Amino acid sequence: MSDQSPTVLYVLTTLAQSCAALAAFVGAIGVFRVQMLREQRIDAEREFQEWTHRLTNTDMLGLPFEEVRRALADYPRTISLYFKKATDAQSKCEAFVPLLHRTRLALLVLEAWNLAIIGVALIGFNYVPALARAPWFSCALVVVAVVTALVPFGCVIVWTRGVEK
């Protein structure tokens, strides 16, 4: 065993533990964000249903979003306050689609990266002596460390974009 083997083993262990903690903690925040967006979308759809109901005098409560959207599209355009409120509520509902998509994608990237690094670190335990002698290993660790720090940071940016509205 090389003199560097204990260091490599320690680095791989620390890497696996750090990624597991990141996957759990930041992943939980991501799941919370997805759930919060879903609830906000449901509230926005309910508001859309209510304004469309007031405009058309047709019971819209409980109807799927697409049916309510069609009912509003089929309704003659007017200058009514209800028409404006209904179209604004529709826009608000539709804004949740890309937001949910970005949030889910960020969560998937976070979890995939962290789980991949955990897997590589665990497999690396079998190759500690070879990794200790590999000249590229320290450069690879720098890249992994930087990306592992940037991925959760990127997720937080995605998850908090537009929150202040």
Residue 67: inside a domain: yes
> What is the per-residue pLDDT for 12?
93
Residues of the chain with pLDDT > 70, as a percent, come to 96
For 90-143, what is each residue's pLDDT tens digit? 999 999 889 999 999 999 999 999 999 999 999 999 999 999 999 999 999 999
The domain total for the chain is 1
What's the pLDDT band for 85 if we cut at 50, 70, 90? very high
45/122 Cα distance (integer angstroms): 46
Residue 85: inside a domain: yes
What's the pLDDT band for 89 if we cut at 50, 70, 90? very high
Q: What average pLDDT score do residues 36-57 get?
A: 91
For 141-163, what is each residue's pLDDT tens digit? 999 999 999 999 999 888 888 66
Which stretches of 61-126 are DSSP H helices?
65-74, 81-124
Residue 127: inside a domain: yes
Residue 165: inside a domain: no
Q: Which domain holds residue 104?
A: 5-160
Q: Phi-psi category of 138—alpha, beta or left, where left has phi over 0 and alpha has psi -120 to 50?
A: alpha
